Each structure stands twice: as structure tokens, then as C-alpha cells.
Amino acid sequence: MKRTLFILLSNPLSLLGVILVALVVLCAIFANVIAPFPSHAGAVVDFVNFNKPPQWPSIMGTDLVGRDIFSRILFAYRISLVLGVVVLSIAVPVGVVIGLAAGYLGGWIEYCLMRLTDVFLSVPPLVLAMSIMGVLEPTLLNGMLAVTAMWWPWYTRVVYNITRSEREEGYVLAAEVIGAGPAHVMFREILPNCVPAIVTKMTLDLGFVILIVSSLSFLGLGVQPPTPDLGSMVAEGARYLPDSWWLTVFPALAILVAVFGFNLVGDALREILGAEQ
């Protein structure tokens, strides 16, 4: 753990990643403290200051109803991160359990579970999410549901492949000969060997979940106004390009910073934890 942290901080690229991620997370947690206009996260109008370019005190300008864009980005981060954590905390356990069961138990269980996974994997993720959101109401809860439904199969794939190779290891045979049950072998013997890969993927995926939620919101299917969301902010501002560029550029940069940061950290983790094995 200490060693991992040290290597993360000693490489300039991964250090940049750690700084960006820390920045995003701190912004999200302390949004109401940092934001100059915390009330602008909701349905506020200020027609005196509408559509202003960056200037003090609105350093990123104001939107079409006069709300401070910087404040709204901070609150959008908060929602995106919460969404990402909720999606992963449902998708990862589901995906991991299915992957372990398919990889270790084998037989018809493996066949059924992996074909089910293939079905989910074969639908383009955005299309699947859009159709789920289309059938259900486009609310935040359904957005989470949709993104979760398309996320777990990737974890199943990763864990399944590791389980298939770990199953041949001597320690699995040793546990079986002793008489340990399948639950012990799956969760106590094999799962610890999947953890590095899972952690790495989760870090990368936090960035991707933010991206996909933004994409859905951009299409009007995600987070609904007046709740701030990076994707819908970009979508609203896109009509006023290039004159009111601040409406689009700053939310887009915010997406970039978050996704880029999580990717850098994820890549670094992959190298560090991968080399360890």
C-alpha cells in the first residue's frame, strides 16, 4: 500500500493524475464551501447578470439565466461522483460474483451466465442506456439504473478470465482436497487474487461513468434541470457557440479534467499492481 502510493507520486504523469483526481474529489465534497454562489445549483434566475463572459466574481461567466457557471460545475462534480460511486458499488459486486461463479463452477452455470453477459456486452452501451431511459422516466434514479445495467458485464469478463486461470493453480486444488466449499474457494482464495485488477478497473471506470452520464445528459436523458450536470450544461451552451463560448468550454474542460485524471491514476495502478503479480 505504501509502496503503491510512493510509485504513484514519483512518476510525473501519475502524480498529475493524483492531483487532478484529488482536485475533483475535493471540489465535489466541499462544493458548498468553495462555490461563490451555492444557491445557483438550484432554480435561481438573475436576469441582471445573464450570459456574462468570465469576470469577477463569476470567473467562468454566467449562464443564460444568470447563474454562476463555476458554482454549477462544482455541484455537477458532486452529482457525477455520487452517481459514479453508486453505479460502481452496485455493478462491481454483481459483476464480480457472476464472474467468480461462472469461472469457478463451470458447466451449464458457466454457459448460462457467460451467454447472458455476452448479450449485455453485444448491445452498444449508450443505446442500451437510452432505451432503458426511454422506456422508464428520465430521472436520476433511472439514469443510475441504466448505467449500472450496462456496466456489470465488464467486471464479469475481467473476473471470469482471472478465475479461469487461477482455478488451475495449486492453492485451489489444495483447498478442495482439504474439503473447503465452493464459497470459500471463490471468495477467500480466488477473489483476493482478482482485487488488483478490480481496483484498477474501478479507478478507470469512475472517469468513464462521469463521461457516459454526461453523454446521457447531453442527449437530455440523464440528470434533469435545474440540477446541474456537465453534459446538459454543454448541450445548452452548444447552441450559442462560438459567441458565448464560456457556456460550453468550461463544463467541457471540467469533464476532461475528471476523466483524464481518473485515467492517469487507473493506468498507473494497472502498471503497479500488474507488476506485483
Radius of gyration of the chain (CA): 22
- The binder of another protein chosen from 136, 174, 183, 241 (CB under 8 A): 174
- The binder of another protein chosen from 195, 241, 253, 256 (CB under 8 A): 195
Whether 164 and 182 have beta carbons less than 8 Å apart is answered as no
Dihedral in degrees, nearest 10, Cα atoms 86, 92, 98, 101? -130
Least distance from C-beta 160 to another protein, angstroms? 18
- Site for another protein contains 175 (CB under 8 A): yes
Alpha-carbon distance of 69 to 258, in angstroms, equals: 17
Least distance from C-beta 179 to another protein, angstroms? 4
Binding piece for another protein, criterion CB under 8 A, among 17-25, 52-60, 79-87, 171-179 = 171-179
Whether 11 and 46 have beta carbons less than 8 Å apart is answered as no
Cβ proximity to another protein, 87 vs 194, nearer residue: 194
- The binder of another protein chosen from 15, 49, 116, 176 (CB under 8 A): 176
Other Cβ atoms less than 10 A from the Cβ of 14: the count is 20
**Per-residue mark of binding to another protein, 64-103 (x: CB under 8 A):** ----------------------------------------
- The binder of another protein chosen from 6, 30, 50, 171 (CB under 8 A): 171
The amino acid at residue 210 is: I
- Site for another protein contains 180 (CB under 8 A): yes
- The binder of another protein chosen from 52, 164, 184, 270 (CB under 8 A): 184
- What are the Cα distances from residue 148, in Å, to 87, 120, 154, 189, 231? 5, 11, 11, 27, 18
- The binder of another protein chosen from 1, 33, 178, 275 (CB under 8 A): 178
Nearest to 59 by CA among 73, 75, 42: 73
Q: Which long-range contacts (CB under 8 A, 24 or more apart) does 254-257 make?
A: 254/73, 254/76, 254/77, 254/230, 255/210, 255/211, 255/214, 255/230, 255/231, 257/20, 257/23, 257/24
- Site for another protein contains 193 (CB under 8 A): yes
Which parts of 151-170 interact with another protein (CB under 8 A)? 169-170
Contact residues toward another protein (CB under 8 A) are 169-171, 173-180, 184, 188-189, 192-193, 195, 277
